[in-house]
Amino acid sequence: MRKLHATISDYQTAVQFLDAGGTVNAEVDGRPYALVVRETSAGGFLLIYNDLVFDCRVEGRPESGKAVDVAVGATQYQVTVTDPKRFRGASTAGAPGDGAARITAAMPGKVVRVLVNLGNKVEIGAGIVVVEAMKMQNELKSPKAGTVVALNVQTGVTVSGGDVLVVIE
């Protein structure tokens, strides 16, 4: 089973699922579900659970840590699904050629440890900051060797998904 974290509107939960080609076995908050899934159009799905049929539409392309709008019947939800394995990494976004690596939070959480100081030299793969989200602690690592040029967090602060925590050049 694949383990993910989901934020549905303001509700956070752990989700496990196994896609068995048209049938999805899922566990949400410890409750098992067996769903039959039928794609009706691009972004449109029918979910069948215990003879109940749910008409769903997904607006946008689901990616780890990115919110998408999901309509179930007439009710709209904002859903963010995060793969904890991707949360441990870092994104490297910057202006072309500037060589900066921006370590961002993939989902909301709390900083439990900062492992570097401003001006520290770091090696690729070095631990930079530890963030707790969904009762899991995740160490974010440096994607490159360089110098810490911005340190935007301290222990105990709450961060949102997408927040830039540290910049390394």
Tell me, what DSSP letter sits at residue 129?
A: E
| Residue 142: CB atoms within 10 Å | 21
Fold of domain 2-82? Glycoprotein, Type 4 Pilin (3.30.700)
Q: How far apart are the C-alpha atoms of 46 and 145, rounded to whole Å?
A: 48
Domain boundaries, given as residue ranges, for the chain:
2-82, 87-168
Phi, psi for 82 (deg, rounded to 5): -125, 130
pLDDT per residue as tens digits for the range 93-149 = 433 334 688 888 878 889 999 999 999 999 988 999 999 988 888 889 988 899 999
Global pTM?
0.50
pLDDT per residue as tens digits for the range 18-74 = 888 788 898 888 889 999 999 898 889 999 999 999 999 999 887 777 788 999 989
- Tokens of residue 159, six digits: 């961060």
What is the residue whose two structure tokens read 């060589």? 99
Answer whether 101's CB lies under 8 Å from 143's CB. yes
Answer whether 103's CB lies under 8 Å from 129's CB. yes
Does 2-82 match 87-168 in CATH topology?
no
The CATH class given to the 87-168 domain equals: mainly beta
Answer whether 148's CB lies under 8 Å from 168's CB. yes
Q: How far apart are the C-alpha atoms of 2 and 65, rounded to whole Å?
A: 16
